[in-house]
């Protein structure tokens, strides 16, 4: 199953994304169809991280035991091994040079999630999402300076208290107070409370497309797709009164509607909205703009879900051509398009063509991520599947074994993708013996 690339506005974050780019997010390796793994790689534009020193008062020191073993340092606040915590601290740079505030915010996030049951990749994904959310909140004109100042100091609990007080004391326009409250609740991963606040803001100002869109986005996050559609439609109607057909906000609302309908399995409706979003984007941007490429990719995914692989290929090829104008060969989005093309050709039984695109995606992925990244492993698994379909079991086994080695390390033995690759490997070995 392909996961879509989503364009959102007003600071949305979706749990299934791994990395984010400005107002865009991309999901990664999802459930498996017919034993195949497909990974949609993000458009990552994270700025270089600043190294952050760890407060030694929060950790237990390394102890060398007489038997030669070494006890692992455990961070007392988060419960994570200190080495892993350092990696996350280095990655997290939402507040730029303020290391102490960055550490406060990161600790607040890690205290709210079940860190022991998440892989390193999942934790890094959540940290990237959290950084994006904070960055967008600090740029949000709907959040006042008092709350932003507290966030800049790493004081999330105080920021939440202030936002709650605005609602209680009605110190400003109530819809704005609820919107700010929703932003802070979402930042603190309190999605149900955020949903209540955003919906109240939308109710009080039912022509405010920002409030309506946020109510839609939080419901999408919570998988309430039908309700998300209702809010997205209201936001679209409001924007159409305010802007022209070619305005980016109009395209965004339609793209969000397409995503929600696709999540409900209503692919024809999704395609209708994607096509409208594409027409709008083409009026606003050039052919080589990333928004145009993403909408075309989404159209390809929807047609692929309908089994219309030739149409999907057409959109993937256009998206690839657009991205090649914008990015270099080694960019993740280029690898994504080629991986999608490979999967579409494999679904058509054109395994040699599929292998060609998978190999190009692998080459790009290795330049971007290196050997140990799950996107590289999943592309190798796709290569294994294509070679198995050609009866070249030894080649398939080689790719499966490389993929399994990486996925076991980064995702763990019990992750669904790891299990699928292991199962594919066992089948390939059985096919080799029987033939």
Whole-number Å distance between alpha carbons of 151 and 162:
11
pLDDT at position 13 is 24
- Are 87 and 129 in contact by the 8 Å Cβ rule? The answer is no
Average pLDDT, 10 consecutive residues per value, the chain (435 residues): 42 28 28 34 24 24 36 49 74 72 82 72 78 87 92 89 92 90 92 96 95 96 96 96 89 95 96 95 86 94 96 96 86 90 96 96 86 88 96 96 91 87 95 91
Q: What is the pLDDT of residue 161?
A: 95
Domain boundaries, the chain: 1-45+329-435, 52-139
CATH homologous superfamily of 1-45+329-435 equals Tetratricopeptide repeat domain (1.25.40.10)
The CA distances from residue 296 to 43, 93, 275, 302, 357, in Å, are 15, 32, 8, 10, 18
Per-residue model confidence (pLDDT) at position 95: 66
> Quick check: 89 and 54 in contact, CB under 8 A?
yes
Residue 403 has what pLDDT? 95
- Tokens coding 29: 């390796």
Question: Cα separation of 126 and 139, whole Å?
Answer: 20
Confidence (pLDDT) at 94: 66
pLDDT at position 126, please? 80
Query: How far apart (Å, rounded) are the C-alpha atoms in residues 205 and 179?
Result: 10
How much is the pLDDT for 78? 55
CA distance 431 to 28: 30
pTM summary value: 0.72
């Amino acid at each position: 199953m392909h996961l879509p690339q989503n364009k959102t506005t007003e600071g949305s974050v979706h749990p299934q994304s791994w990395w984010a780019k400005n107002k865009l997010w991309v999901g990664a390796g999802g459930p498996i169809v017919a034993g195949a793994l497909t990974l949609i790689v993000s458009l990552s534009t994270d700025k270089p991280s600043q190294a952050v020193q760890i407060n030694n008062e929060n950790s237990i020191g390394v102890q060398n035991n007489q038997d030669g073993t070494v006890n692992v340092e455990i961070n007392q606040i988060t419960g994570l091994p200190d080495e892993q915590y350092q990696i996350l601290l280095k990655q997290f740079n939402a507040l730029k040079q303020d290391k102490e505030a960055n550490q406060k915010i990161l600790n607040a996030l890690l205290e709210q999630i079940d860190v022991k049951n998440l892989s390193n990749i999942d934790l890094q994904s959540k940290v990237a999402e959290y950084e994006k959310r904070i960055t967008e909140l600090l740029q949000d004109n709907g959040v006042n300076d008092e709350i932003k100042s507290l966030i800049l100091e790493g004081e999330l609990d105080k920021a939440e208290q202030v936002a709650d007080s605005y609602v209680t004391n009605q110190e400003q326009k109530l819809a704005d107070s609820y919107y700010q409250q929703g932003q802070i609740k979402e930042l603190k991963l309190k999605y149900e409370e955020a949903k209540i606040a955003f919906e109240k803001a939308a109710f009080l100002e039912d022509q405010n497309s920002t409030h309506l869109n946020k109510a839609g986005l939080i419901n999408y996050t919570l998988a309430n797709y039908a309700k998300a559609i209702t809010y997205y439609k209201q936001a679209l109607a409001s924007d159409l009164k305010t802007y022209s057909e070619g305005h980016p906000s109009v395209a965004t609302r339609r793209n969000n509607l397409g995503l929600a309908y696709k999540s409900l399995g209503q692919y024809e409706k999704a395609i209708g909205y994607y096509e409208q979003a594409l027409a709008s984007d083409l009026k606003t941007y050039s052919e080589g703009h990333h928004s145009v490429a993403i909408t075309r990719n989404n159209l390809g995914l929807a047609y692929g879900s309908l089994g219309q692989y030739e149409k999907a290929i057409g959109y993937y090829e256009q998206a690839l051509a657009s991205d090649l104008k914008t990015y270099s060969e080694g960019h993740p989005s280029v690898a994504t398009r080629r991986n999608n093309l490979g999967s579409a050709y494999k679904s058509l039984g054109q395994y040699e063509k599929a292998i060609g695109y998978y190999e190009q995606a692998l080459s790009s992925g290795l330049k971007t991520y290196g050997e140990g990244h799950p996107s590289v492993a999943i592309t190798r698994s796709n290569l294994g599947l294509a070679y198995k379909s050609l009866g070249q079991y030894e080649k398939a086994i080689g790719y499966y074994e490389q993929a399994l080695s990486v996925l076991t390390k980064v995702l763990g033995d019990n992750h669904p993708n790891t299990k699928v690759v292991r199962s594919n490997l066992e089948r390939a070995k059985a096919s080799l013996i029987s033939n």
